């Protein structure tokens, strides 16, 4: 049997055909924010990026480090003012027992010790959530996916991938496998989607794919609430719009028909985030062991890797316990 933290529960699953429906959102500009991870300065910084009339969707795992009651309450109050989807973290806040652990559905290449740390973080977060039963009920009742219409593009918004809330098929290494374009053709057809926007695997990725005589795209924003590239201290979010990105925070992007798909920087108060992180997860804690290095130094990832410069490299968020790969690989919930 699969152990907690590796199992993908049946209630996490759906099919690509679930997206072949009328959109819940229609807008000219859409921001997709995945992996806030309880970073309150990042939540505050979002207000300075939003454009008039833009829609904002939080696509899960906005909780994680925020085990203090004030942090838990303020993060969720801020998120729930907008359209939100639940990630595996929000889903596992419900008292279902510990069969799924953190709900991360980690692949077997992830070390058992690191999986256990994530399970322990989830247990501690659930203790805080128990102080807010009404709020947890709202979080666990959020949808798993959404469809948005942005200009002439249909956007499928997920936490994981086109099959599961905690799926890893939109990780940067999987997206850039040489035969990925062929395997994704049926998915786009069944889903009637032009762009999939995800997070979960915690490192950014973007790939365009040809299907039906037009370009399609999968974009993964990695983490809004943690550094995503080596020697950086900003989060990444996805902007999808009928207009080009007007800001210098654009990292990279593509165009699908008349719609622009961009990864943009989310610059937040990093010193404040570190202080709040350490107050909850001091040295010696599971959160510190798994995430402190990434928060301070960033992971060994780059925009070039996000765009597939080195297909076939190991997934950047699959953690390694020791050796040179440790600075490359980082666990994510």
What share of the chain has pLDDT > 90, as a percent? 77
Residue 188 reports pLDDT greater than 80: yes
Per-domain residue ranges for the chain? 12-56+145-327
Residue 145 reports pLDDT greater than 60: yes
Residue 154 reports pLDDT greater than 60: yes
Rounded CA gap, 250 and 239, in Å? 9
Q: 112-129 and 286-297 helices cross at what angle (nearest 10)? A: 100
Rounded CA gap, 239 and 219, in Å? 10
Which 8-state DSSP code applies to residue 251?
E
What share of the chain has pLDDT > 70, as a percent? 92
**pLDDT tens digits for 79-129?**
999 999 999 999 999 866 677 789 898 877 778 888 999 999 999 999 999
Q: What is the pTM of this model?
A: 0.92
Residue 312 reports pLDDT greater than 80: no
Q: What is the pLDDT of residue 80?
A: 98
8 A C-beta contact, residue 139 and residue 85: no
**pLDDT tens digits for 237-289?**
999 999 999 889 999 999 999 999 999 999 999 999 999 999 999 999 999 99
Closest CA to 51 of 120, 150, 117: 150
Q: And the tokens for 208? A: 């365009």
Number of neighbours of residue 199 by Cβ within 10 angstroms: 33
Q: What is the architecture of the domain spanning 12-56+145-327? A: 4-Layer Sandwich (3.60)
Mean pLDDT of the chain: 90
How far is CA 167 from each of CA 33, 43, 264, 323, rounded to the nearest angstrom?
A: 17, 25, 23, 27
Rounded CA gap, 167 and 264, in Å? 23
For the CA atoms of 150, 89, 272, 58, what is the dihedral angle to 10 degrees? 10
């Amino acid at each position: 049997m699969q152990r907690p933290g590796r199992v993908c529960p049946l209630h996490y699953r759906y099919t690509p055909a679930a997206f072949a429906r009328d959109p819940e959102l229609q807008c000219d500009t859409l921001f997709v924010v995945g992996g806030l991870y309880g970073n309150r300065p990042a939540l505050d910084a979002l207000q300075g990026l939003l454009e008039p009339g833009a829609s904002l969707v939080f696509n899960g795992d906005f909780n994680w480090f925020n085990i203090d009651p004030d942090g838990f309450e303020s993060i969720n109050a801020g998120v729930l003012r907008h359209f939100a989807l639940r990630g595996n973290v929000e889903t596992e806040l419900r008292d279902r027992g510990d069969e799924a652990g953190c709900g991360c559905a980690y692949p077997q290449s992830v070390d058992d010790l690191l999986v256990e740390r994530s399970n322990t973080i989830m247990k501690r977060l659930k203790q805080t959530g128990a102080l807010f039963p009404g709020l947890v009920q709202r979080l666990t009742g959020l949808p798993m996916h959404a469809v948005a219409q942005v200009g002439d593009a249909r956007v499928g918004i997920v936490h994981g991938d086109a099959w599961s809330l905690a799926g890893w098929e939109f990780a940067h290494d999987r997206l850039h496998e040489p035969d990925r374009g062929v395997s994704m053709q049926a998915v786009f057809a069944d889903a009637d989607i032009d762009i999939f926007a995800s997070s979960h695997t915690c490192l950014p990725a973007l790939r365009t794919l040809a299907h039906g005589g037009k370009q399609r795209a999968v974009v993964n924003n990695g983490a809004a609430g943690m550094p995503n590239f080596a020697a950086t201290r900003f989060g990444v979010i996805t902007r999808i719009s009928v207009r080009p990105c007007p800001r210098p925070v654009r990292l990279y992007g593509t165009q699908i028909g008349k719609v622009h798909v961009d990864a943009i920087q989310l610059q937040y108060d990093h010193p404040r985030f570190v202080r709040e992180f350490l107050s909850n997860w001091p040295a010696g804690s599971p959160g510190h062991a798994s995430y402190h290095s990434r928060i301070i130094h960033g992971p060994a990832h780059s925009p070039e890797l996000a765009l597939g410069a080195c297909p076939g490299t190991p997934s950047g968020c699959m953690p390694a316990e020791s050796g040179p790969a440790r600075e490359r690989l980082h666990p994510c919930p």
